[in-house]
Amino acid sequence: MTMSANPIPGISETLLVQIEDGIATLTLNRPQVLNAVNHQQRQNLETAFKALDADPQVRAIVLKGAGRSFCAGQDQKESAGLDAAGASRRIEGYASLYTLMRSIGKPIIARMHGYATGAGLQLALLSDLRIADDSTRVGMTELNVGSAAIMGSAFLLPLIGEASMRRLVLLSDFIDAQQALDMKLVHEVHGAEAADARVREIAQGLAKRSPLGVALTREWWRILGDDVFFAAMDHARKAHARNFEAGGLSAGASKFVARKQG
């Protein structure tokens, strides 16, 4: 057995990395904000995924969250303070990270619990398998914070169909783990301990597969979705720029932060 903690240089303590027996576990480690994603965390994730993809000893990647939730989406405190350059940097950061997650040769398993919302749900949707425990609450809630649900809509549509996608986006509420399973947003739901055991079982099985076979399969899945992905990303750049110029993005984020602080 080989095991190491935070073995990748250039990653801050807000992302924990552990590699054991061919399985890399990435733990989002901002529990005080339900693992909301900021600029530093996007950079952390990109650095980690690049390094793990290049490591021949790594055969599978597990993505999870510390504390009470998987990931509560974009850090709205950061969003509230963005200027035009920051808004552009944010969308390009997501574009780079999402493109990378789609292109690596290693399978990704999302171990979901608590809230998985907005950009956090998108991280799970970019994973190959989504294993949830029964505490999971899923939402594509961009409209609640004045943002536009461009990439989220694109990721949801092929998985759950147009009617369910529109319902999740327009209602911007949360559904529980069983509803997410019924909607085919997640693959399996278990109790917390059983979910951990199931993720280990799946990752150990994937670690025994042919790395090239897995990589070529993921490459084909990426090609199948390229047209929609790049069209959505191009539109997201335009839509978020328009929303920022109109004040919707920062105003919605500011209201959200004020509610949380009130």
Q: Minimum mean pLDDT among 20-24, 222-226, 253-257: which range?
A: 253-257
> What is the DSSP annotation of the chain?
--EEES-STT--TTEEEEEETTEEEEEE--GGGTT-B-HHHHHHHHHHHHHHHH-TT--EEEEEESTT-SB--B-HHHHHT--HHHHHHHHHHHHHHHHHHHH-SS-EEEEE-SEEETHHHHHHHTSSEEEEETT-EEE--GGGGT---SHHHHHHHHHHHHHHHHHHHHH---EEHHHHHHTTSSSEEE-HHHHHHHHHHHHHHHHTS-HHHHHHHHHHHHHHHHHHHHHHHHHHHHHHHHHHHTTHHHHHHHHHHHHHH-
Residue 14 has a pLDDT of 97
> pLDDT tens-digit profile of 84-119?
787 888 899 999 999 999 999 999 999 999 999 999
pLDDT at 258 over 60: no
Domain parsing of the chain, residue ranges:
3-261
Angle at the Cα of 231 from the Cα atoms of 152 and 235, rounded to 5 degrees: 70
Whole-prediction pTM: 0.93
Name residue 165's amino acid.
Answer: M
Residue 4: which pLDDT band, with cuts at 50, 70 and 90? very low
Residue 1 has a pLDDT of 39
> What is the DSSP annotation of 138-173?
EE--GGGGT---SHHHHHHHHHHHHHHHHHHHHH--
Residue 82 has a pLDDT of 72
Residue 2 has a pLDDT of 45
d(CA 13, CA 6): 8
CATH number of 3-261: 3.90.226.10
The number of beta carbons lying within 10 Å of the beta carbon of residue 21 is 14
pLDDT at 20 over 70: yes
> pLDDT tens-digit profile of 26-82?
999 999 999 999 999 999 999 999 999 999 999 999 999 999 999 999 997 887 777
